[in-house]
Structure 1
Amino acid sequence: MQSLWSDEEARACGDDALALRVYTSRLLGRDPELVLHGGGNTSVKATVSDFFGDPVEVLYIKGSGGDLAKIGPEGFAAVKLSVLLRIADLSTLTDAEMVREQRAAMLDPASPNPSIEAVVHAVLPQRFVDHTHANAVVALTNQPDGLELVKKTWGDRVIIVPWIMPGFLLAKAVRELTKDADWSKVEGLILMQHGIFTFGDTAAESYSHMIRLVSEAEAALAARGGSSSAIATADVEITQNDLLALAAARKEVSQARGRAVLAFAETGPEAAGFASRPDAGDLATRGTLTPDHSIRMKRRPVVLDGAEAVAAFGGWYGDSHTRLQKGQPALDAAPRWAVWPGKGTVAFGTTLIEAGIVKDIAEHTVRTIQQAEAAGGWTALPEADLFEIEHWDLEQAKLRGAPAPKPLQGKIAIVSGAAAGIGRAIAEELHAQGAVVTGFDLNPETPVRLGGRPGLTGRVLNLTDYPAVEQAVQDVVRQYGGLDILVSNAGIFTAGANFEYMDPANWAKSLEVNLTSHMKLL
């Protein structure tokens, strides 16, 4: 793993601890091998002035669900350190009590909710603390002999924390395990089947520990056969029948979720290689790469190995809730991603953002579990533990901040004649109502006129070139997973003439565009 640290960029932060915290948080967030889409958390301890001008020690902790790659100072909550340390002294604490007390201890009530790991950060004495779900570390700890492997890789340079629920329970465990620590020797905590904490009295020290320990995890995996060479690749052809199957799967998932979803099919060499493995279904359904992925990915994907695959997934999901629930309400039984045997993977989401997040996590999952399997065997947390994380209210809360869905959210539309006039207005209104829209038009300005907005694109297309039209429609289905709305709006006004003087070519062109092209598009 390459360090992204720059002395010049760090110097620009001066002595501002929060600025340095933002800087190294973004370094961590820029590497998807460390964190993805809201994963991980970081903190720094500092002394600041409160409203009355009195000095107070605080923990600047990343807001729950914040994206480290984009975080700014406003993404951190300043929480009174003394309160967090008193919370760690309690024998029991409910989730609601923890959230309430952490919020009550914030200097600014407008700050985001502190990360659920805030108390863990507080009990570690170092000034800067970093926590990631590094792929290599998770792959290493999820080996059948993961505990011995961790000991062999790092010795007494790390403190090993057995799997335990994040939040208050983890903080209690960390405090107990580190009470006699010789911090001059310890560079980090390895959380079995979860991730890694590193720390230091400077931002550079904590970040360098993260890069070094993760690099050593990568080397340990490679030594056991878990290098990048373990990632299968293949080339596949996606046929029209495949696209029809993709659209059918999207329809089933949409019905299971109770709202329309987009389906991002990934059929590149790595995705196709994984899906072509005979054990792909077994590997993928053992569990999530790291527990917090379950809130976005559910505990396993659907394997699209038959017409009833999505229904079978729903049956399994409902049965598992009956077996494992301890009063938690049932969630929807729609899968969030799929293994498409012999073809690749599919990510489902009601928005471009959600489907993109699922796609990214799926990509890293299939890479890492293959490396872990080659290194000795991929194991995941037991189903009951993953169920508890997936249904944990503090994790589900991360998903509740999404805006209310628009009427056409998740719908896929094509509008022809979309470069100007009525067609352009229709395309823009469908997009405003939540649909992803592709506009077709012969006008070479079409991509520019409809561009610049996610989910609204223009394509130059001669609607009388029927092979090109067929390909364009298939490309939309390949990109989004199907088609729900078709507005056949293209038309031309040819030069008028009395019938006896009508140019046959003019007549034929008018019929071709204004009549036949609509039939062909439909």
Structure 2
Amino acid sequence: MNHGIFTFGQDAKESYDRMIQMVGKAEAYLQNKKAWEIKIKDSASSNSNDEENQSMYTLAGLRNDVSTVAGFPVIMSTHSDDETLNFARRADIETISQQGPATPDHVIRTKRVPMLGRDVKKFAREYKKYFDEHHTQTPQELTMLDPAPRIILDSEFGLITLGRTAKDASIAEDIYRHTIEIITRSEMLGGYRALPSTDLFEVEYWDLEQAKLKRQGAPKMFAGEIALVTGAASGIGKACVASLLARGAAVVGLDLDFAITSLHERKDYLGIQCDVADESALGSALEKTVQHFGGLDMLILNAGIFPVSQQISDISTSEWTKVMRVNLDANLILLNKAHPLLKISPRSGRVVVIGSKNVPAPGPGAGAYSASKAALTQLARVAALEWGNDGIRINILHPNAVFDTALWTEEVLQKRAANYGLTVDEYKTNNILHKEVTSRDVAELAAEMCGPLFAKTTGAQVPVDGGNDRVI
């Protein structure tokens, strides 16, 4: 079955020691035959910013094509290092890569062969042909698996791995990196050979192998989809990351705080330290998002600053400009750059803007903040009108008095509560419903607004404030 080496013994240690001995012999043989060291040429490219942008949209388009053929959105990771580029650019790649996996059970993770280039429809036709040729030879009735590739070899991008989740794409990467080494060394020894397609088909559609996949259970709401959250290191943004991850999305978090990079240690999260007021940094963050996960489906615009309370007569031009740059301009830039990606999202793009109660009911001393959030809300409303033809939904949430954020220290809470003659607990629930509003409350609604429940809603403004008489 081409599974490799098996060793046995009277106990586990004896079996293990024999395995080490056999592997040592194999390594020595490869070294003796000059097939151990794999020489890798420098394949680094020096693309311009325009070329990198085009590559980003090319990759996102490829992910959309694969998702269409698969029948569900996929995560797609691109690995453009010297090893993968060297392999993808081999003159004999069409021969050595199309024989089959190194060991047959890999077929359920990588398909029988990788796709060469970007013709997804052709790959799907060939997979259907492979299924049609072999399924009649089995006694039981079989249903064809999705015909989408799990491995793509591309001379420009190197190795591209795909899966229903980021974990699946990562497993495919691990497997195929080993396969690259095996094929390369085999060719140095005289030639790589895999099992015949008939044998591989039996393994791919073997009940026990299929059971491995079925044990994963039903996919979550956002399985295969990618979300980006700004201001994600704390407060509402941090809660949005958690809510989206819980629903199966792969999430990219942006924040000025370096802590964003280690917010979650898992395959479906990428934290990027980023100043949203820096246009080039935003562009770079989107490129990393696409390289890491394949595209962009959901965008949560949360980053913002709340300046010190000032009367309008005291607001300096520099302070006003700073607030507008972060709360308004940065979001315009990100919307502009993200639009082409959202437009080709497999399930259509979704944007949730975190506004403020200060939009419908502003308060004194918050002129710059209120104006910036009002302008952002108006921008989102116009975007909802303009992007409807692209299937992109844009909705706005207006939270108020969310106290579990860095802005509200215990000292500030006590001072504000005292101003109203209330205790801190009374102040936190000083709304019509007498309910405290938390970051998680806002995040859960933001996530749901990206889901099927709000599939026919766009341009909406929803308060998350426990009820405010001025808003109502």
User: Which TM-score bucket, shorter chain as reference?
Assistant: 0.5 to 0.7
Matched, 1:363 2:173: no
Q: 1:200 to 1:409 in 2, by over 3 A?
A: same
Structure 1 residue ranges (4+ consecutive) displaced by more than 6 angstroms after TM superposition: none
Query: Displacement, 1:454?
Result: 4.8
Say what the alpha-carbon RMSD is for the aligned residues: 2.2
* Contact 2:75 2:293 (8 Å CA) reproduced: yes
Matched, 1:320 2:134: no
Residue 294 of structure 1 corresponds to which residue in structure 2?
A: 107
Q: 2:21 aligns with which of 192, 212, 235?
A: 212
Amino acid at match of 1:491: G
* Contact 2:40 2:82 (8 Å CA) reproduced: no
Q: Which has the higher contact order (CA 8 A, sep 6+)?
A: 2
Query: Displacement, 1:364?
Result: 0.3
Query: Displacement, 1:370?
Result: 0.8
DSSP-derived class of the 1:194 partner: coil
* Contact 2:38 2:184 (8 Å CA) reproduced: no
Q: 1:398 to 1:476 in 2, by over 3 A?
A: same
Amino acid at match of 1:211: I
DSSP-derived class of the 2:78 partner: strand
Q: 2:92 aligns with which of 276, 279, 283?
A: 279
Residue 459 of structure 2 corresponds to which residue in structure 1?
A: none
Q: Structure 2: which 5+ runs fail to align?
A: 336-472
**CA deviation string 1:465-487 (max 9, x = no partner):** 11112112211212112111111
DSSP-derived class of the 2:153 partner: strand
Residue 200 of structure 1 corresponds to which residue in structure 2?
A: 9
Residue 474 of structure 1 corresponds to which residue in structure 2?
A: 287
Alpha-carbon distance between aligned partners in 2 of 1:338 and 1:376, rounded to the nearest angstrom:
25
Amino acid at match of 2:210: Q
Q: 1:427 to 1:202 in 2, by over 3 A?
A: closer
Alpha-carbon distance between aligned partners in 1 of 2:38 and 2:144, rounded to the nearest angstrom:
40
Q: 1:509 aligns with which of 291, 313, 322?
A: 322
Query: Displacement, 1:310?
Result: 1.0
Alpha-carbon distance between aligned partners in 2 of 1:206 and 1:451, rounded to the nearest angstrom:
38
Residue 341 of structure 1 corresponds to which residue in structure 2?
A: 155
Amino acid at match of 2:127: Y
Query: Displacement, 1:289?
Result: 0.7
Alpha-carbon distance between aligned partners in 1 of 2:235 and 2:26, rounded to the nearest angstrom:
58
DSSP-derived class of the 1:385 partner: helix
Query: Displacement, 1:439?
Result: 1.9
Query: Displacement, 1:501?
Result: 4.4
Amino acid at match of 1:336: R
Q: 2:36 aligns with which of 219, 224, 227?
A: 227
Q: 1:452 to 1:218 in 2, by over 3 A?
A: closer
Residue 487 of structure 1 corresponds to which residue in structure 2?
A: 300
Q: 1:501 to 1:196 in 2, by over 3 A?
A: closer
Amino acid at match of 2:14: E
Residue 434 of structure 2 corresponds to which residue in structure 1?
A: none
Q: 1:447 to 1:208 in 2, by over 3 A?
A: closer
Q: 1:373 to 1:232 in 2, by over 3 A?
A: farther
Query: Displacement, 1:240?
Result: 2.7
Alpha-carbon distance between aligned partners in 1 of 2:266 and 2:31, rounded to the nearest angstrom:
42
Relative to the length of structure 1, the TM-score reads 0.59
Relative to the length of structure 2, the TM-score reads 0.65
Query: Displacement, 1:365?
Result: 0.3
Alpha-carbon distance between aligned partners in 1 of 2:107 and 2:86, rounded to the nearest angstrom:
24
Q: 2:223 aligns with which of 406, 409, 430?
A: 409
Matched, 1:265 2:78: yes
* Contact 2:250 2:268 (8 Å CA) reproduced: yes
DSSP-derived class of the 2:131 partner: helix
* Contact 2:111 2:149 (8 Å CA) reproduced: yes
DSSP-derived class of the 2:282 partner: helix
Query: Displacement, 1:422?
Result: 2.8
* Contact 1:222 1:375 (8 Å CA) reproduced: no
**CA deviation string 1:63-121 (max 9, x = no partner):** xxxxxxxxxxxxxxxxxxxxxxxxxxxxxxxxxxxxxxxxxxxxxxxxxxxxxxxxxxx
Q: 1:297 to 1:500 in 2, by over 3 A?
A: same
Alpha-carbon distance between aligned partners in 2 of 1:453 and 1:227, rounded to the nearest angstrom:
33
Q: Structure 1: which 5+ runs fail to align?
A: 1-162, 164-192
Residue 387 of structure 1 corresponds to which residue in structure 2?
A: 201
1:149-168 to 2 correspondences below 5 Å:
none
Q: 1:373 to 1:444 in 2, by over 3 A?
A: closer
Query: Displacement, 1:434?
Result: 1.0
Q: 1:432 to 1:519 in 2, by over 3 A?
A: same
Q: 1:303 to 1:237 in 2, by over 3 A?
A: farther
DSSP-derived class of the 1:415 partner: strand
Amino acid at match of 1:330: M
Alpha-carbon distance between aligned partners in 1 of 2:264 and 2:182, rounded to the nearest angstrom:
36
